[in-house]
Structure 1
C-alpha cells in the first residue's frame, strides 16, 4: 500500500479525530487484534493486518498513528518515502525537505529525526527476512518506521498522553543520534557459567553487591510500585533493572513480598559490553546473522533444542541465554542476555 501523509491532518484513509468505528471502517472493516480501552476514552488498537496502530485520546478521537517498519503501508511526505528504508537516507531526505520548507528538525529519544510542523517522529526496527528453507531470520540492518500525530501531540509525541501509555520510552536509554561500537580488541573478556553467573556477577547478588563488584554507579534505574497483589506488599518500590554504561551491562532483578531485589539476569550490551564466548562463538558486538548461523549449526550438530524468545531471540535449550540485537546506526549488532534458572524472559 502507498499512503500519503497530510501533516497534522491524517495519513492515507485515516484522519485525526476519527473514533475507533470510523478507523475500522476506513481500514475496510479491520479488526484490532490487540487493543486496550477502545471506545472508552484513552486507548489504542493494533491493526496487524494493516501494520498500523491507532492511538486514541480522552474522547476516543484518533490522535496518533504508528506505521510498522515491516508490515505497514509505505507513507510518502511530499517526495520523501518514510517507511521501510535505510534510516540515514530518510534522515538526509527529511533534512533536505525541512530546509526547503523552513521547518525545524530535532532528534527524538531514539536518535531519529522529529518534525513538529509535520507531526512526524521517526524510528527504526530490525529487518526480518526468509531463509532459503522458508524460516523467518534476522537481518543485519534496521529499517524505518514512524509515529504520525495530530497537532495536539506534535510538540513532543513520545512523552505526551496518551502515546506514553501505549509506548512508554522513559526507561530506555536516550540516544543522541550516534551509535559508536567499541572495537573488539578493547573489550574485556568475561567468562560465563550457565545459570550461575557471568564475569564477576553472580545470580542472587543484591543491587549493592552488583554495583560494588562493577565499581560503578548505575547510570539509570527502572522499577515500579506494586499493583496491589497481596504477595507483593503495599507501597514498596520494586527495582527492575540497573544500567551500567561504563561496563556495558544491564542488571535485571527479581523481588517479591518481603524480599529485596536479587540479580536474576544480565544483558551484555552489544555496542559497548564485554565479549562472551559460547563454544567458540563470539556473542557480543557481531553481525547477528553470523551469530544466528553459528549457533543454529552448533545446536543442530549436537541435536540440542533451540529456544526462540518472545522477541525472536535465539538460545540453546536449557542454558537460559538469548542472543539479542541492538541498533548501531543503520545496522544491528548482537548482544546477549544471561539468566538464572527459572527466569522467564519477556523481551
Structure 2
C-alpha cells in the first residue's frame, strides 16, 4: 500500500498524533473539561472558545474550542474540540490542511483525497481479512465507531477531515453525537 506524501498534497510541517479508541487523540483525552482542553492545546497554538447553538434538546450545553497553529497565517483552526457539559470532551476534528496527521492501523486519515483513502481502506481490509465502514454520507473509513470521516473542500478536491469521538449525553452512536457545526463543515 502506498500513501501520498504530505508534500504531494500541498500540506507541510504536520504534527503526528496518535489515536487510542475511547481514550483520545494526541494530548487530548475524552472527558476533559474546557479548561483542561485549553491548557493542553497550548502545545499546538492559540485557542478560541465559543458556545455551540443548542440545536437538540437531548444534549447539554456544548462548547467549541478552536486551536490555531502558531506561525500559520490562515484563520482556519488546526483542531476543533467539542466539550459537552455532561460528557466533557467528546469530539476532536483534525483540519484537512492545518491539522495534525492521525492514522489508524498505519493509514493516514487527515487531509487525504477521499477516493484514495477509500482505496487504501479497501486494500487494508483485504490484506488483513478485516473490515472498513462507510459513513451515511458515503465516505470510507476505518471499522472503528470512534472515527467518523467527513469531507472538507480544499480547492477543487474533497479531502478527509476525520472526527474522533465518543458518544455524549445519551446518544446511541458517535454519528448521533456529531456536533451540528460539523454537518456542513467545509462543504460548498
- TM-score under structure 1 normalisation? 0.40
CA drift of 1:310 comes to 2.8
Q: Does 1:299 align with 2:125?
A: yes
1:144-159 matches, cutoff 5 A: none
In structure 2, what is the equivalent of residue 193 of structure 1?
A: 20
Contact 1:284 1:334 (C-alpha < 8 Å) held by counterparts = yes
Q: Distance in 2 between matches of 1:326 and 1:203?
A: 23
1:46-57 matches, cutoff 5 A: none
Q: Deviations over 1:285-330 (max 9, x none)?
A: 2222111110122123334343322332333334421232211112
What runs of 5+ residues in structure 2 fail to find an aligned partner? 1-8, 70-76, 184-188
In structure 2, what is the equivalent of residue 264 of structure 1?
A: 90
Q: Distance in 2 between matches of 1:218 and 1:239?
A: 16
Q: Distance in 2 between matches of 1:254 and 1:300?
A: 38
CA shift in 2, pair 1:228/1:265, >3 Å: closer
The structure that has the greater radius of gyration is: 1
1:198-277 matches, cutoff 5 A: 198-215=25-42, 216-219=45-48, 221-225=50-54, 238-246=61-69, 248-255=78-85, 259=86, 262-277=88-103
Q: 4+ residue runs of structure 1 moved beyond 6 angstroms?
A: 226-229
CA drift of 1:275 comes to 1.0
CA shift in 2, pair 1:225/1:270, >3 Å: closer
Q: Deviations over 1:248-297 (max 9, x none)?
A: 11112333xxx4x5101111110110111222222112222111110122
Task: Tell me the SS of whatever aligns to 1:195.
Answer: coil
CA drift of 1:213 comes to 0.4
- TM-score under structure 2 normalisation? 0.69
Q: Distance in 2 between matches of 1:318 and 1:280?
A: 14
Q: Distance in 2 between matches of 1:182 and 1:219?
A: 26
Task: Tell me the SS of whatever aligns to 1:300.
Answer: helix
In structure 2, what is the equivalent of residue 340 of structure 1?
A: 166
CA shift in 2, pair 1:293/1:227, >3 Å: closer
Q: Distance in 1 between matches of 2:174 and 2:118?
A: 21
Deviates more, 1:293-302 or 1:271-280: 293-302
User: How well do the aligned residues superpose, as a CA RMSD in angstroms?
Assistant: 2.7
Contact 1:251 1:263 (C-alpha < 8 Å) held by counterparts = yes
Q: How many residues align?
A: 156
CA shift in 2, pair 1:206/1:316, >3 Å: same
CA shift in 2, pair 1:207/1:331, >3 Å: same
CA shift in 2, pair 1:250/1:228, >3 Å: closer
1:1-347 matches, cutoff 5 A: 183-184=11-12, 186-215=13-42, 216-219=45-48, 221-225=50-54, 238-246=61-69, 248-255=78-85, 259=86, 262-340=88-166, 343-345=173-175, 346=178, 347=183
Task: Tell me the SS of whatever aligns to 1:245.
Answer: strand
